[in-house]
Structure 1
């Protein structure tokens, strides 16, 4: 628990402001429709559910619930938030004091090169898959599950990386508008599939208990260690890789939509 804790005091006023922003944009002819706001709120609620409820406790005492938590933080919730393309609405809600912050230009100049590096089509998939592998190194995983600070770093890094990766893949901008090329997106989405399949299969079919931290702390439910590990492996394997397939379908939808628009404009 902690990813959204720092925003706790601001969430009520922030939540009341969102409908007002959407209403103003609707009156100005920039209606967001129904599905995009729904996807955004589902993504935020999903992050809240796995980090700010009793589920976070279960994620620390069962391997498969931990893998399900990271499936939400790294895949499902960022996917929904990126699909909603909420930046225009979120930018409209930034307080005027922050828009005029004197150090804003300096912060942008410092952070922009880092952002571009993380969004490079070679770096992004390596980081996306690499973080999954890194936090599942048995020694690293052992330390992360026993250290409150490292546990928060692990969850934060998975969520932020997921947001960066899926925003790069599901960016509604066309290549002419600055978005990544559609072919490149499909290649990247397919490139992250085999490493996740391999890792998930390794966890599922391993005959040895790889993560003894759950034996040290005790499991929340009386589930056999290998059965717990196998369930976690299946979660790492099947739904995670299916997210890439879904991402490819959405990118193809973007491409077909752009081609249809270009065809209409030539008529």
Structure 2
């Protein structure tokens, strides 16, 4: 099976020629850049937005897109870039973090939706479906990125209490860690699309899957852990100031 959007699996000799200059994608990225420049408030927000934009460029335009057709570990890296890199940076940049959350959708429910989607798209059957057509591919990418952006927008909102933010952050780390453990310690490869595409890169399908688990376990958790420590530090400082107040 080949990826319908990023093309057939490359080999190392052709990888760096596999840039994706799909016109609709470039138009979408251009519109996002305009939105960042016109809607970001302040230099920090603009810089965050442009960094997030650059990560989207790496994910979809650079040869990483093609590499994900060959290696499941590259696909997981692609998803890590989306949900743990681009999503929080764009949540900082754009004004949706200040919007109120509908009462029927609690922060815990939104995290649950993101978790369900994250696990669903990394199940073998759903993953195979995502590679069956362009529409399915973009459904996977949009739902993963959109739900992650929603979670990060709540975490980074000035209206979000520290306890809620910490719960969402630690919940995100936990759910990704559990899935990573399943991938890392599985006795056999699970993703048929990569059974015949990993050997060119010196990996067996199982080694590729184990590498994917490690990427999901450690690098993916770092942004959540960093923000959690920052929120915890702020919470402790506020409590200390409150105790010292006359």
Are residue 243 (structure 1) and residue 223 (structure 2) matched? yes
Which residue in 2 is equivalent to 1:230?
A: 210
Specify the alignment match of 2:181 in structure 1. Answer: 201
> What is the distance in 1 between the residues matched to 2:183 and 2:29?
38
SS at 1:239's partner residue? Answer: coil
Contact 1:60–1:145 under 8 Å retained in 2: no
Q: Does residue 144 in structure 1 map to residue 130 in structure 2? A: yes
Structure 1 position 210 matched with structure 2 position 190:
yes
Secondary structure at 1:165 match in 2: helix
Long gaps (5+) in structure 1 = 26-31, 89-111, 174-178
- 1:155 is the counterpart of 2:141: yes
TM-score by length of 2: 0.76
Between the aligned partners of 2:34 and 2:171, the Cα distance in structure 1 is: 41
5+ long unaligned stretches in structure 2: 6-19
Number of the residue aligned with 1:67: 76
Larger Rg: 1
TM-aligned CA distance change 1:18 to 1:239, over 3 Å: closer
Count of aligned residue pairs for this structure pair: 226
Aligned match for 1:180, one of 160, 171, 196: 160
Q: C-alpha distance in 2, partners of 1:215/1:149?
A: 23
Alpha-carbon spacing, 1:245–1:14, altered in 2? closer, same or farther (3 Å)? closer
Indicate the residue corresponding to 1:56 in structure 2: 65
CA shift in 2, pair 1:15/1:64, >3 Å: closer
TM-score, normalised via structure 1 length: 0.71
Cα deviations across residues 46-73 of structure 1 (Å, max 9, x unaligned)? 0111112322111122100000000011
2-side partners of 1:14 and 1:158: how far apart?
Answer: 18
